[in-house]
Each structure stands twice: as C-alpha cells, then as structure tokens.
Chain A
C-alpha cells in the first residue's frame, strides 16, 4: 500500500495535476450544490475537459469532481432542504432542522468533515482491499443484489414517524411509482394509459425535489401566514444564524458514528448498482437503530448528518473498486469515468491494476488530496451559501422553488418533469399533513427498479424456481437481516410496554 501511496502522491502533487484536481474539486462542490446537477451529471459536464488530458491525470481529475460533487450535495440539503444529489437526501433529516435552529455553520461543519473522513477512509480501504473485495463483489448475482436492495428497503421501518402502516404504504407507493413506464425486460407499457410521456417512467429527481423543496416552501407559507401576516424573517431562528463550526470535542463525540458509517459506505459502494444513495440511507438507519438517543434523530442532531455524509462519500471510494479491479462501473458516475478511460484507449478490466498500477495510484492520490482540499474549498463555498439564509423568506422561498424548477427541468430538458415536481410538492404537503413519510416514498422510488429487475433476473436464471433463485448463503443472510429489520418494530409495537403499564 505504501508503494501505491507514494506513487499516487507523486502523480497528484505534480503542479499541473494538483491545479487540475483543485479546479475539479471547486467545480464538483459547486455542481453538487446545485439542485438537479447530480454527481454523474457533474462528472459528465467535466468529461470534455478530461479529453485533452493523459489517462492517469484524467481519472484523477474526474475522481476529484465526483467526490467533491457528493460533498457539495450536502450544502443545499442542509440550507434549503434541497438535496443537491439523491445521496444527500438523508442529510436533510437532521441537517435542515439544525440550520433552522440557527446552527447552519455547525451543520455544514459536521457535513464537510464527515464527508472528508468518509472519503479518506474509503480511499485507504480501496488501496488495501481493492483486490479481495472486488472478488467478493463478483459473487453477487441478481439474487444477492435483490437481497441488497431489499435490505435498503428495510430502512423504511426506521423512517417511521409514528405510524408503521403509513410509512410502509409510503414506501410501497414509491415502489409502485417506479413501475410506471415501459417494462425494461419485456417492453410492455405499465400504467401509462396511452400517454407517451409516461412511457419513460417517473423520474426520481423531480419527485425528490418536489417532495423536499416545494413541500417545504408550502409548509413555510402556512407557518408564516399563521404566525403573522406581514412580517417576514429569514429561514433561521430569529433571523440569526451562526457560521461557527463544531469544536474538536464535538467531532470526537461522533467518532464512532464516522467510523461505522465510513466502513458501511465503502462496502455498499463496492457492490455494483448499489451506490451512494443506498449507502447514506442504510447508514442513517443503522445509526438510528443502534443509537442510545434514537428518538432525537430527525430533530437536528449531528449523528444523523455524520451518518449520511460519511457513508455517501465513502461510497464514492467503494465505487472505484469494481471499476478499477474488474472494469465494472459501480454506478452512473463510475460508468462515465470508465467511458473516459475507454476513449483514452485504456483496457479497463481485471488486468488494469496489475499491468498499469498508475491508475489505482492516481485515483488513490486524487481521493486523498481531494478529500483534504475539499474541506477548505467547501468551507468557503458553504459560507457564501450560508449567508443566503439571512435573506427574507419572501424572497428566498420563491427563489428556492425556481431553483428547484430548473433542477427538475435540467434532467431531460423536459417541462413535463417540472409538472411532476410541482405535483410531487403538493402531494408531499398532503403526505406531511396526514403523517405519511416522503422519505419512505423516495426510498421506494430509488430502489424499485433495482429490486424488480434483479428479482426477475434471478428467477429467470433459476429457470422459474424460487428456491434456486434465492438460495445462496449471502442472499439468505441478507434477507434474514432484512426480515428482522422489518418485523422488529412491528413485533415491538405489538408487545405491551411493561414500563408504561
């Protein structure tokens, strides 16, 4: 590993490469912070710049953009409840309430440092265990991936806000929305009622932006009209906010959360198709389950922010493992990076790490440097963003909706997605009012396609036998964990509480 470290630093500390990585970090944070510009879109937008670079430098530059964009996504999630990237959605659960309390700076501090630590741990993990873990990931067939996505879905019970049935219904509604459009395996139109617009399915990003951002602005409309008709203040408490960052002691209080989330994020990131979104949701849930103060999750506690941000950044490192070791992209952004390497004539596959170790060193070095300079770059950018909170809500609220509108539109340059976002915003308000869970709906929508495709593929490979489709030890263990996670709160709810009695 020492060789990889030295070689990686030699590559990335060359002045020209370092400048490129720095620029990639700045661009990544800004792109990530902009709603609708996902991490993969940020990498895609940076791709043309990489064409003129040497392959080793190009992958370092794109890796910097990728890591930084995931971190940037947390900035708007905390300040405006608009997750810049889908993987930052769980960051809104605690980050936004903390910012609302006037502690935007603190929330951002936790988010940025957690992201950096998650990224650094993942970078080291990538360098050390790249080979062995990639071999394990190769054993993951459709059955195992179905179990992984089911494990992600079991998170639903932890997003419960007082009514398990309503939370499960919300998650199922998300799964149902994911089935709308053309069936990817047989080409049959499902729930389109003859509409060509619906054929391409329900996009996740407009729904997510609508549920989180538009619903929040509508909620504020009601809250502020109840409070007093005329006077408008900022989004933070009493119009004031602090940009004071957490102290070292406060960071040390969440050190184990950081470690657990980073490891979990790295492992999830390695699994092809799983990615940063599942990592952050899963990590948030695990921390909520094992925390001594789980009831405080969702009210604006550091553990929630750290769990989500550590895991989603760690997943970026994990996603590079199958890409470099096996030539299998772990997600969309990794696929774009792979295409850049292919364009450069690089033979991506199991032999890459052995015959051209510079690529692994370059990614490793880039991740180390990016995760360190990212804290300072993000600090500067986040402070500018945090100042925005002082703007009166009568100005900020409508601007957030317009920003959300662009975010939804930019995905496919489709005004249909803007309509979808507004509908999601209005439905989201109804959801919040009636105690349903928007987060569960988003999770269902995110995991729906992965769940269905893998289950059907596993069944097909097993020649129509359910037993053969789901009988591998990994699948069985994962499904058992998943079943216990779903059933535990239901059984717990059914058993009378002796303390209360």
Chain B
C-alpha cells in the first residue's frame, strides 16, 4: 500500500501510537489523506514528493479501529494532530488535505492556527448547508462506490472487473471516518474556521456527488484569506480524476 514510503511509529500521550509515512525531499508538507488511506499511487502525493518532503500520518482508525476508542470528537482529533506535529518536531507547516483529511486539516487550522503556514483543502468535509446536503455515503452499496466517488473509477476494465481490494480499502476507510461524519459531518467548524487567517485554497470537483461544489461558497465565505478552484469534470476523488490539473494548482499555490 505504501511501499515506496518510509514508515515510522510515533509514541504519543495516553498510549497512542501514530504511524507516519514520509516520501520526497525538500521542505515538509503535511498530507492528510482521503478514504483510501496513505497510498503510494496517489498522483498528487507523487507530484508533491518531487518538490517537498511529504509527511503523511495514517489517520486514527485506519490501521486499527481501536485507535479511535480514545478519540471521542473533532476536538480530540485536532489535539491528536497537534500531538503528532509536536512529536515530529516540525514548525509551522503547509497542510494539504483531501476529503476527510481536509476536514482534519481545517479543524487543525481552526484549533491551532499557528501550526499551519498554508492550507489546501480538496473537496473538504466539515460544513453543512441544508440547501445542498452532503451525500449519504454510508448507504451507497459497496459495488456502487467507485462510480459514486470517481469520474474515472480505478481498476475497472469493464462492469465485471470490479477491484475488490479497492472496495475493501474504501470500506475500511469509511469505518474509520464514520465516527466523525455521521449522521451530519459538521461539528461547529463554521464557528471557529475564521480563526485561521493564513493563505487557503479550496478546490472542488464540479461533478462531485458526495460534496456538491456549491460548498465552495460556504468555505470561501468563512475563510478570511482564501481562493477557490472548481474542476468541472472531476468528482470527489480529485487527484485521481484530474491529476495534472490538481497537481499544478496545488504546487503553484504552495510556491506562491
């Protein structure tokens, strides 16, 4: 899954262990992954690794579900990531997050704004607007998930060639994120997001069935220092759906 990356285990407070993957050289960038977990075939991670040292913690629950037992809500999740950054010994760091990872990034920035030098949020969870509710990911039957999430589902050579491993990986990820996104993936972030005043970019896929791109408005209305990008043909899995465009936009933003 992450064979090309260096793996280390940090030991944190209260007996927590945190797996962190690292790849690339250069200034550090924090990658907060999506439902697939940390993988070495993510085009965006590969692009980032050409210019930066990508530091990719595996979100609690992705390795072992029990890791979530002692993290009860988004505040404790933000504290956990503060502990991770403390243990890594990094100063203010650029943060790039996708989907659930972007929700973590936004909460990290809102709770600990001094930790985050720049913030990139790809199809982030964390806000709720009843006029365009977030899609119910939990009730999509597993075989229908790739089409729901990707404009170009991975591993599909035809309707009969379903990639079981890809499905299992997503299902595993959903088991972990369910704690924080069900029933409504919003826990008061709108009340604290404006604490982060650093440069921010939000990016959405125009065809995203899970998080409607209309949410770009909600995020840009709350963030003091933000720019937006909508990629019209991409669905939720932006880096896989539009690898070249996503990489270019992120790299340009980080180097500005």
Query: Is B one of A's binding partners?
Result: no
Spell out A's residues near B (CB within 8 Å): none
Spell out B's residues near A (CB within 8 Å): none
